[in-house]
Amino acid sequence: MAAAEQQPPAVDGGKALSALLGGIAQAAYYGKVDITEELLRGQLYPEAAPEEFRALRAKMGGLLQSIASADMDLNQLEAFLTAQTKKQGGITSDQAAVIAKFWKNHRVKIHESLVNQSCWDNVLKNMNWRVDLKSQSRHVDQINTPVAIVEMELGKYGQDSEFFFYCFCCFEKEMTPKQFHSVFYRSLDENFHQLCNRYMMS
């Protein structure tokens, strides 16, 4: 049985802890910087002294960080939480159950947030296209040729985008969508799919 330190009294133990984990996640992973420790304490553990609450928040935050950093699956999670219940100053088995439930519900979203946070270059946020039959153009050889215009929205996560417009024509000297497509088609073999699948099953 865990020799856990005295936990601060809570409004409703399980619910409050779950909400606390939610608040920690909002600040750490969902970008809600205005969720302060004081706000959480007042909402969830109003009877607790600030130092007690700070310790609880730090402990739970640390556990969530370890779990998220390892992107734990259910087996790893169970082993990890069980070990925490046996530690001096660890968690109770009730708390372990609340943490486990929270991680099951939020794992995908938190991992996605961590992935986005590590993406520092421009990303393609959106793409649209249309095909015109050009009836007028400053290029005489473009008239009556179908032309594809592509709009790409590029930008960094959480920042404004820029829109770029590019053309495909069916001229010999320029690249056609068919050639563009064949660049991928040539290289898209079994290895590519296997490689993707290997890293996507985790």
Positions touching another protein (CB under 8 A) are 68-71, 111, 114-115, 117-119, 121-124, 126-139, 146, 148-154, 162-170, 174-178, 180-181, 183-184, 187-188, 192, 195-196, 199-200, 202
Residue 36 CB, nearest distance to another protein (Å)? 21
Crossing angle of helices 13-28 and 93-117, in 10° steps, is 20
Beta-ladder partners of 73: none
Is the sign of the CA dihedral 81, 82, 85, 90 positive or negative?
negative
For residues 3 and 140, which CB has a smaller minimum distance to another protein in the complex? 140
Nearest CB to another protein, comparing residues 32 and 180: 180
Q: Which is nearer to another protein, 43 or 122 (CB)?
A: 122
Find the shortest distance in angstroms from Cβ 55 to another protein: 23
CB of 80 to another protein, least distance (A): 13
Nearer to another protein, 1 or 200 (CB): 200
Which CB atom, from 47 or from 162, has the smaller least distance to another protein? Answer: 162
The whole-angstrom separation of Cα 92 and Cα 14 is 11
Dist. CA 41–CA 53, nearest whole Å: 7
Which lies closer to another protein via its Cβ, residue 94 or residue 174? 174
Q: How far is the CB of 26 from another protein (least distance, A)?
A: 16
DSSP state letters, 84-153: HHHSTT---HHHHHHHHHHHHHHHHHHHHHHHHHT--S-EEEEEEEEEEE-SS-SSGGGTT-EEEEEEEE
Identity of residue 11 = V
The DSSP call for residue 35 is: -
- SS3 state at 36: coil
CB of 78 to another protein, least distance (A): 17
As measured in angstroms, the least distance from the Cβ of 12 to another protein is: 32
